[in-house]
Structure 1
Amino acid sequence: MTTHRVAVIQASSVPSDSAATVDKLIRLATDARGQGAELAVFPEAFLGGYPKGADFHIALGARPPESREEFRRYYENAIAVPGPETERIGAAAADLKLFIVVGVIERAGGTLYCTVLFFGPDGSLLGKHRKLMPTAAERYLWGQGDGSTLPVFDTPVGKLGAVICWENYMPMLRMAMYGKGIEIYCAPTADDRPTWLPSMQHIALEGRCFVLSSCQVLRGSEFPKEFRNEISTDPDAQLMRGGSCIIDPLGKVLAGPVFDEEAVLVATIDLADIPRGRFDFDVAGHYARPDIFKLTVNETPLRPIVTVREE
């Protein structure tokens, strides 16, 4: 069977409460499954939160006590992978017989990472992708991933992978994913600007793949109270307005974009559209010029501490 139902979930995190956000994830995943979805994609930093507008009181060369206290609270709301939250999501995926792709803030040692987790319909945690390059002020909070977490999973709904937010503007990263044969290109994001939709259409056309992009909607009333917000303190302010969408391999919009409200967007996709699209353009195949251009991808885990023991 080449046709499948897929969903993108546009919703906000529960402020500063990862356990309650997992409850919300399960409710929304159940809604998507009830509409026939076999795969549900959640936004960037859905667990752990994307507190848009928080500045953590940081200036160049200055980190006051308020900075450290706000980071401590953000750190405590992040999740371990694996951990209690991933166990609950895995159990829900198994109950629903659903692939789940979700953005989280991952706590590893003393560092936070913006990460995407992949769960299979058997409940297994298939793997993860850590964001390679946090953008602008995100670098205050998140470490950089390395090339060891660039997975593409061969699943019944297609070859599944994820690229997070402005990683989608990294041409070499996109090319690496195309080279892995990605077919279901998940793009969890916090970018709600009008320019995002044409970027997703470009990627769908470039990779001749389905693009599933999910963004939060976040109002001032849903912003964590422990952080200062430099955008607005109005509880009715729209801090993130969504724009989630599903795009086919020739750039046609199958669902969305939706703005200013939570939504579960579902579309039927046909994997046979991928070879149809690659008939005249396969960016990592017959349309490549390896005699001129060549990409080297380092997928070695880069560890800062390597212990060597002589016997």
Structure 2
Amino acid sequence: MNDTPAERLTVGLAQIAPVWLDRARTLDKVVAWIERAAQAGCGFVAFGEALAPGYPFWIEHTDGARFESSLQKEIHAHYLDQAVHVEAGHLDPVCAAAARGGIAVMLGIIERPADRGGHSVYCSRVHIGADGKIASIHRKLMPTYEERLSWAPGDGHGLQVHRVGPFTLGGLNCFENWMPLARAALYAQGEDLHVALWPGNLRNTEGTTRFLAREGRSYVLAVSGLMRRQDVPAGSPACAMLASCPDMLADGGSCITGPDGNWLVEPVTGREELLVATLDHREVRRERQNFDQAGHYARPDVTRLVVHRQRQSIASFLDQPMP
């Protein structure tokens, strides 16, 4: 067989804590870890779900479902202010770092998009190519449980895959990785390197990552963030959560499995770390010999999936020039 560098890709998982609810400082930290990954020889680096400016941990600890709560309104207003507005250029430093390092990046953000009015936020996964250009933004299809008190449901526009080295790479946010049809939408496009973004916690990654690899016969990168009591910034309206939150809200759990479902990097918890591994595409081809869910083991004459990838909007404007 051909044993050349073209068959391999070195990847990094940046398991870090955000500078919670501070977009600019968190993105500065992301840039630093992109540079670190590039120096380690990575061609791709991934960050956890909702990293910039952070996951809404306060909801669980501040009576987040209380209607017309002045506290919830205050925190939400601050969250909107610190969310990522792509159209305003907030990701430009991240894109520039990707281009400088020649490294592709997948980053979890809280997006405040102009195309939905600019006052709701979405849990989005951004793919930035090694050329520094944003290739796709996927908005989480369905926020999970209490997340629905903060995030709006997304759409299928970002259910896209991208070529990175010898691999076809896709990714999903958190519980989306448990949605079989969302996974199937990526499989159908030839995905063989899957990124599962999580806000953190071993309980989310330890059981699912190996299964996802075995089902997809793909490499799976589970990348998580960290969040500790000490990361709650003094003076933030979210400090109200300190009365009941534990010392560790998200303990990481980032890990990497091969397409046979075996660990390449076992879950790492409790600390910031760059996890690095070199993946060999030949292993994907070996595992697809007896099972290929979008190819020889599929029955499209019996079951098929329809995926709507239009970006959702509440209005279509049909402008005509004045006579």
If the TM-score is normalised by the length of the shorter chain, which range does it land in? over 0.9
Please name the residue that 2:210 is paired with: 201
Match of 2:237 among 223, 226, 230: 226
Q: Equivalents in 2 of 1:72, 1:2: separation in Å?
A: 47
Please name the residue that 1:267 is paired with: 277
* Per-residue Cα deviation, 1:38-62 (whole angstroms, up to 9, x for no partner): 10000001112113243464336x2
The one-letter code sitting in structure 1 at the alignment partner of 2:98 is A
TM-score, normalisation: structure 1: 0.93
Please name the residue that 2:3 is paired with: none
Q: Contact 2:71–2:237 at 8 Å: present in 1 too?
A: no
Matched, 1:240 2:236: no
The one-letter code sitting in structure 2 at the alignment partner of 1:296 is V
Matched, 1:101 2:106: yes
Please name the residue that 2:94 is paired with: 89
Q: Percent identical across equivalent pairs? A: 33
Which has a greater percent of helix?
Answer: 2
Please name the residue that 1:279 is paired with: 289
Match of 1:251 among 231, 253, 261: 261
Please name the residue that 1:43 is paired with: 48
1:271 CA drift (Å): 1.1
1:301 CA drift (Å): 2.5
1:248 CA drift (Å): 1.0
Stretches of structure 1 lacking an aligned partner (at least 5 in a row): none
Q: Contact 1:187–1:213 at 8 Å: present in 2 too?
A: yes
- Greater CA deviation, 154-163 or 171-180? 154-163
Change beyond 3 A, Cα 1:221–1:157: farther
Please name the residue that 2:64 is paired with: 58
Change beyond 3 A, Cα 1:231–1:121: farther
Q: Contact 1:186–1:213 at 8 Å: present in 2 too?
A: yes
The one-letter code sitting in structure 2 at the alignment partner of 1:226 is P
Change beyond 3 A, Cα 1:22–1:178: same
1:77 CA drift (Å): 0.7
Q: Equivalents in 2 of 1:115, 1:305: separation in Å?
A: 22
For residues 63-212 of structure 1, the aligned pairs below 5 Å read 63-108=68-113, 109-194=118-203, 196-212=205-221
1:309 CA drift (Å): 4.8
- Greater CA deviation, 127-136 or 14-23? 14-23
* Per-residue Cα deviation, 1:213-265 (whole angstroms, up to 9, x for no partner): 1111111010244213278446xx01100000111111121113101111100
TM-score, normalisation: structure 2: 0.90
How many pairs does the alignment contain? 308
The one-letter code sitting in structure 2 at the alignment partner of 1:137 is E
Give 3-state SS (helix, strand or coil) of 2:249's partner: strand
The one-letter code sitting in structure 1 at the alignment partner of 2:298 is A
Q: Contact 1:54–1:230 at 8 Å: present in 2 too?
A: no
Stretches of structure 2 lacking an aligned partner (at least 5 in a row): 1-5
Give 3-state SS (helix, strand or coil) of 2:206's partner: helix
- Greater CA deviation, 172-181 or 294-303? 294-303
- Greater CA deviation, 22-31 or 5-14? 22-31
Q: Equivalents in 2 of 1:246, 1:67: separation in Å?
A: 37
Please name the residue that 1:214 is paired with: 223
Please name the residue that 2:298 is paired with: 288
